[in-house]
Structure 1
């Protein structure tokens, strides 16, 4: 009997020892699993989170710089587009269609900006050429008006009000250029007509002077008339030489001599 009880006593002893040791071992393992410092998964998560924070901190300044560059690029687009609108409205007011600024800002590439810049440069060249034409016509009209004794400002204001102003932009439309050319042509024809009349009066005056032996002192009073008796249209440039008042004065003198 003693021999058969020994294994049971050993089994009982082993079970008791197991019950005493197992709970503490289990608690120890669970404690180690809950500890962040001993969990491999949590360690990896913390390391990954730290890496993301570092990447974000590195990206934020770059994003801010990109936002700043986008604003600057958009300002460049707006400036070029506004200039295009202004120049186009000056040279082609009748055909001008307002240029719509793309509000979506979907294409702010340098290529697109270069396209708009080239369009602006083309319009600016066209404006420069048109302005040159307008100024040539204005200078011609000014010279003609001076000789004919015609109000220059009133003449150009009839073409377009902006042309009579010394400062400020001038209308450069096709209609304005054509109207200026027509006005200059009419003034030139009028100059030729009055020049012929003056030369006819000068010829009559010389004949009457010779006929009446008019003293040289009296003839010198009309020297500015007789000196133009064989002048060409381009040679008569003195102000008011062909004005209505001056022609009337010469005509009255011829009538007096007759």
Structure 2
């Protein structure tokens, strides 16, 4: 199983996963043109993608869903019922033949790829994220949640690689330009994880198999790559975890794809 985090931030999200039999996207938070360029940057073609897994209806995750499914009729969209019902009108009409329901807590198989869905605490209709399994290796994505429950932590614990939300630095958010109601929303149990929250969640789920941790969904207004990385790495090292030895911590970018990697390698 090979993966590239094509983009991750509060302005747009897209992750590519491939196995010998399947090519999969998680979310489509950009225009069709931008999504095609991101795929080309890692040597892949959108036309080859067979499945699109949607996490929730917010535009930084769903903006390109309508364009992709209409442009590529062989692509199947997986999402839960409440998310589909909450998609904005700007998405346009979706073909019923291309949409398959995938509810939180379910597991499905696409031949050589098994996918677990799990609900999270976010102010969306019914946000859910995913863990992908192939050849005894696991890759998990967890962003857009106000906190990480014991159930969610148990689901993704000891994944070989994972994307964990580090949306904001608390001080930058508090001192920043956002209106107070928006700050309250971000800080709430249905908002987003701070750098410290993300570090604590990583400490809770990391295991001996875990080799790669990606810091995802950074806010361009309330965080910086260097700050998120320093905060997380420092907190993990303080707990005696082998950053740079047993596993590595990687940054993600709002517009530049991370290089493809093999899960478990």
TM-score over 0.5 (shorter chain): no
TM-score of Structure 1 vs Structure 2, range by shorter chain: under 0.3
TM-score, normalising length: structure 2:
0.18
Bigger relative contact order, structure 1 or 2, given CA contacts below 8 A and separation 6+? 2
Which has the larger helix fraction?
1
